[in-house]
Copies of this chain bind each other. A is one copy, B any other.
Amino acid sequence: MTTFRFESRPSLLSMATVAGPDEAKGPLGEKFDQVVPDLWVGQKSWEQAEQELLARAGQTLLVKENLTAADVDLMVGGDLLDQLVTTHFASRTLDIPTFGMFSACATLTASLAVAAMAVDAGYGQKVLVTVASHHHAAERQYRYPVELGIQKPATAQWTATGAAAFLIGKGGPVVVREATPGRVVDYGVKDPFDMGGAMAPAARDTLLRHLQDTGRTVKDYDAIFTGDLAAVGSTLFRDLLKEEGVQVEGIHHDCGLILYDRSSQKAVQAGGSGAACSGLVTAAHIIPGLLSGEWRRVLLLATGALHSPTTYRQGESIPCIAHGVVLERAEAP
């Protein structure tokens, strides 16, 4: 039994997003709090630009809620860059005690789970959850500098540029009901241009364990969102589940397929990815759908690929993970 059920009903009090120019052109473009016109964000390096995105998301949330840093007990979050420099450098500005988490693109749900635990264990404190990623910073670190113009196969995904911040506490309209931490699953995929395919088995593993732990079926969810399996991984995820007799067609959506319009934004290839991908979609699409009554209970299964450039060059496969979090409208039973 590895699913944590949060009895004290930790919930979402507020959120804020800052999105890059490509994300602004996608279907959710109108729904972000702030959009930056270019990838520099007024900074001198991609790394500083990513920090600026995150600092702005955090500050936007504090301003929205009329809070100062001293009102927030803890910041939990992560990013894709080595040593989580985005999170930690931005945290200097935000000045909130910080736990850095790394599950690659699954960092959002790991952080939401820890925030919910902190609120559950700490009796009502306010915890800020943050994620960020930056297309150019991630490409240079993980693959090639974008300036080289290396062609990518159709299975490749587009690392989202943006940052999202969520404030978890007590009494908000969307409850973090349960969390199912993921196991590391490795199917031997070695291609860093096929993250969706590598991650799909991890998403399956966490979904099946979650259903077993909770005694539910997929029909008990109005929607199941994977983090960023994108086109290739989403198909594989549904096929893998079919083999287990679990049918998610119509219920399953993928954040990597929601953030961009693949028909007009062809550069994103198979779809979006990056720690900010599920962050932006959760804030601009999933939470609004829960608030509007479109859904009452959703399962968010952010997915992450856990290789490093070093392990890739050493010929290692790509271990993956998916952490699940159940979000419910506060009045749901």
Q: Are A121 and B6 in contact (CB under 8 A)?
A: yes
Contacts of A316 in B (CB 8 A): 89
Within 8 A of B (CB), among A99-137: 99-104, 110, 113-114, 116-118, 120-122, 125
Distance in angstroms between the alpha carbons of A11 and B100 in the assembled complex: 23
Contacts of A183 in B (CB 8 A): 91, 95-98
Q: Are B114 and A83 in contact (CB under 8 A)?
A: no
> Is A306 interfacial (CB-CB < 8 Å)?
yes
Contacts of A91 in B (CB 8 A): 183-184, 319
Q: Which of B89, B120, B125, B309 is close to A121, meaning CB atoms less than 8 Å apart?
A: B120
> Is A264 interfacial (CB-CB < 8 Å)?
no
Chain A interface, DSSP helix/strand/loop, else mixed: mixed
Oligomeric state, in copies = 2
Q: Are A306 and B84 in contact (CB under 8 A)?
A: yes
CB-nearest residue of chain B to A142: B83
CB distance from A201 to the nearest CB of B (A): 12
Distance in angstroms between the alpha carbons of A309 and B101 in the assembled complex: 19
Distance in angstroms between the alpha carbons of A209 and B316 in the assembled complex: 43
Contact with B along A1-32 (1 / 0, CB 8 A): 11011100000000000000000000000000
Q: Are A74 and B181 in contact (CB under 8 A)?
A: yes
> Is A212 interfacial (CB-CB < 8 Å)?
no
Q: Are B100 and A103 in contact (CB under 8 A)?
A: yes
Distance in angstroms between the alpha carbons of A85 and B307 in the assembled complex: 6
Q: Are B122 and A4 in contact (CB under 8 A)?
A: yes
Within 8 A of B (CB), among A169-184: 180-184
Known: A74-B2, A121-B117. A83 touches B98 (CB 8 A): no
CB distance from A134 to the nearest CB of B (A): 13
Within 8 A of B (CB), among A265-316: 306-311, 314, 316
CB distance from A309 to the nearest CB of B (A): 7
Contacts of A186 in B (CB 8 A): 92
| Besides A2-B97, A117-B122, 8 other A-B contacts (C-beta < 8 A) | A83-B104, A83-B307, A84-B102, A88-B306, A89-B184, A89-B306, A99-B323, A120-B121
